[in-house]
Amino acid sequence: MAKNRTERLRPQVLIERGDVPWLIAVAAATSVPHAAHLPAWLTALAAAAMLGRLWSWQRNARLPPRWLLSIFAVVGVTAIGWQFRTLLGRDAGVALLVFFVALKPMEIHTRRDALVVVMLGYFLLLTHYFYSESIPTALWMLAAATLVTGTLLRLYGGHQPAREILGYAARLLAQAAPLMIVLFVLFPRVEGPLWGLPRDAHAGLTGLSDTMAPGSINNLIQSGEIAFRVRFVAEIPKKSSLYWRGPVLDDYDGQTWRGGLPRSAALPPDIEMRGERIDYVSTLEPHGKRWLLALDLPVSLPRDSALSPAFVAVSREPIVQRRRYALASTTAYTVNAQEARQTLQRALRLPPSVNPRTRELARSWAAELETPERISDRALALFRREDFVYTLQPPLLGANAVDEFLFSTRRGFCEHFASAYVFLMRAAGVPARVVTGYMGGEVNPVDGYLTVRQSDAHAWAEIWVAGRGWLRVDPTAAVAPSRIESGVASALPAAEPLPGLLRFDNPWLRALRYRWEAAGNAWNQWVLGYNPDRQYELLTRLGLEEPDWRKMTAWLAGLTAIVLLVLSFGMLRPRRAELPEQLAWRQFCQRLARLGVVRAEWEGPQAFAQRVSHERPELGPLTHEAAKNFAAIRYGAGGPDELKRLRACCRRLPSRWRKTN
């Protein structure tokens, strides 16, 4: 029975010994970038498996028996399941794939086994996009795809040297590029990823949070990552007015500030513009929350977003993908001169019985001074006059955090100052709240974009004055004016550790960084950020009016049909295959043409050689020899020997770069 069955199947094609390193290379190339986020033990295991296979290949050693591999596989899968607590999802799935692709070369005997490795390799390549969409990733994937394709060529009988195989694979990929570009441009886009990423795909995004405790912002500030990039339509406003409004926090429990104003109780934002309208386009890196970061204060919002009662631009969906949107703001405004009572009450609420000294101080100010503005000035004067220090390394604070900060430690970061200020104001009966967001940014001279990083994170305050609305007050500016004027790095004492990116200021490196970031930005804008809006914009500019998916599909189908027609016409046209001697002679003539002697199409070999010796005597003898051999094969009874000599002539011909004399 068994025999019959095997007979019915096609005979198995065994792989050659020379294929094995190719397959190991595929496994390595497609799984190496994953080492950055896989558990260390799995990386080590995969590396050991590949090295072991390479060793056994070199020694011609026996492969491990199947039962041993089975045990190994079961143990590995169990360990992965235990590590991730699941076998589903992005991380566990990728870990399983890497484990299998590393293990599979251990049991390769037939071409079918080898194909499993190749297909796994192609699949693993795609998974890199779960983690990174940057240019280096794309370049690595291109190289790896060439390698995998080359391996496929090799498996089906490419015995040429590796360079030739890889060159051919690269040519195949290059031929696919036009199709790729057409599909990229014209394939109808849908908002968001087509098939939805696994749920854990967006873990570990950095950005502001909707709470603020001492230390939360100076953790963020250690990161040199880009938060968003802005391109202003007109010129960039002056640096001290670049407050990027993030979550507004108005609920304090003695340690932590929280946001969350009930929407129902609030009045709709009422903004009176007193300055110019500033238009800009912002590209926001994903941060997993809903707020968009708008320049204080936004007056026009992108679609699918709204202004919250605390004037924060909020998107309908969490930002889990890089998003590009157009906004308009104004830096001089009056907002909500009338405010709902509930909002004001919230802005006055304090946790009971904490910070008694601060309350007492505030009450004395309130009794002494009439207007909220004066009270605020007194508080800022306090920060300015006393020996407050702006530092990234504040001491830990206890239960009466504001008391300790104001009266004993006096060392803090922006969140300490904002928190203490708002506490003082509330205690003095002035409605106040904390605003978090980003301050400033860095202009990239290469492409003119303003880059705002996590290290630009900031916290400031707002107070409400009847008739004047909400006023922005930045207590940090009172302590460390240079934070506002030039940035974190210049405001901190020189001895403090900072992320290398902020501290290190070599002009050459800085220029390099600008270039690299501009390239990354262009990539983000045009490749990754090619969303339905951009597609619409581009196609309209190309003259396609009102492009919808039907039109795009029609164009796509039309273009495909034209390409196929042209291709099939080219293939169906009767064309005699070129014989090897014709190919060699054509190559010889092409090289001669590069050296400046072009053979006319009607010119016979001997006549051409004659002309070459006349025009370029130094090439004459070689051309005569080539012509003689070509003529002998094509018009006489010449054979393989002449072909060999003809090819030798072709090789001996000096190339363009080594021009004779």
Partner 1 sequence: MAALASIRAAECGYNREGAGQSAGLAGHYRPNAFMTTTAAPNLSASAIESLIAAANRVILGKDTQIRLALACLLARGHLLIEDLPGVGKTTLAHTLARLLGLEFSRVQFTSDMLPADIIGVSIFDRERSSFRFLPGPLFAQVLLADEINRATPKTQSALLEAMEERQVTAEGETRALPEPFFVIATQNPSGQIGTFPLPESQLDRFLLRIELGYPDRNAERALLESGGRKEKLPALAACFEPDQLVMLQREAAAVHTSPALLDYVQALTEATRGHPAFVHGLSPRAALGVLAVARAWAFIHGRKMVLPEDVQAILPSVACHRLRLINSASHARPEDIVKLIKTTPLP
Of 356 and 639, which CB lies nearer to partner 1 in the complex structure?
639
- From 34, 250, 403, 414, active-site residue: 414
> Is residue 529 within 8 Å of 321, Cβ to Cβ?
no
- From 296, 474, 624, 649, active-site residue: 474
Q: What's the distance, CA 81 to chain centroid?
A: 29
Of 16 and 603, which CB lies nearer to partner 1 in the complex structure?
603
> Shortest Cβ distance from residue 584 to partner 1 (Å)?
14
Per the annotation, the verdict on 377 as an active-site residue is no
CA distances to 67, 92, 95 from 81, rounded to whole Å, are 21, 7, 10
Residue 197: partners with Cβ closer than 8 Å, 6 or more residues away: 90, 130
> Shortest Cβ distance from residue 617 to partner 1 (Å)?
13
Number of residues that bind partner 1 (CB under 8 A): 18
Per the annotation, the verdict on 474 as an active-site residue is yes
Q: What is the distance between the alpha carbons of residues 468 and 387, in angstroms, rounded to a whole number?
A: 32
> Shortest Cβ distance from residue 643 to partner 1 (Å)?
15
Site for partner 1 in 565-604 (CB under 8 A): 600-604
- Burial, 52: exposed, middle or buried (Cβ in 10 Å; 0-12, 13-18, 19+)? middle
> Shortest Cβ distance from residue 586 to partner 1 (Å)?
11
Of 82 and 602, which CB lies nearer to partner 1 in the complex structure?
602
Neighbouring-strand partners of residue 439: 243
Per-position DSSP letters for 526-579, written without gaps between them: IIIT--HHHHHHHHHHTT--S--HHHHHHHHHHHHHHHHHHHHHHHHS--PPPP
Residue 278: partners with Cβ closer than 8 Å, 6 or more residues away: 232, 233, 234, 237, 295, 328, 329, 330, 331
Per the annotation, the verdict on 414 as an active-site residue is yes
Residue 545 sits in the site that holds partner 1 (CB under 8 A): no
> Shortest Cβ distance from residue 629 to partner 1 (Å)?
10
> Shortest Cβ distance from residue 650 to partner 1 (Å)?
18
Of 192 and 636, which CB lies nearer to partner 1 in the complex structure?
636
> Shortest Cβ distance from residue 569 to partner 1 (Å)?
21
Say how many residues make up the chain: 661
DSSP 156: T
- From 458, 589, 624, 649, active-site residue: 458
What are the structure tokens assigned to 493, written together? 């004492």
> Is residue 147 within 8 Å of 26, Cβ to Cβ?
yes
Neighbouring-strand partners of residue 194: none
> Is residue 477 within 8 Å of 486, Cβ to Cβ?
no
Of 315 and 623, which CB lies nearer to partner 1 in the complex structure?
623
> Is residue 25 within 8 Å of 92, Cβ to Cβ?
no
Of 547 and 638, which CB lies nearer to partner 1 in the complex structure?
638
Of 485 and 603, which CB lies nearer to partner 1 in the complex structure?
603
For β-strands 411-412 and 389-390, DSSP reports them as parallel
Q: What is the distance between the alpha carbons of residues 186 and 538, in angstroms, rounded to a whole number?
A: 10
Site for partner 1 in 599-658 (CB under 8 A): 600-607, 610-611, 614, 628, 631-632, 634-637
Interacting residues toward partner 1 by CB under 8 A: 600-607, 610-611, 614, 628, 631-632, 634-637
Residue numbers annotated as active site:
414, 458, 474
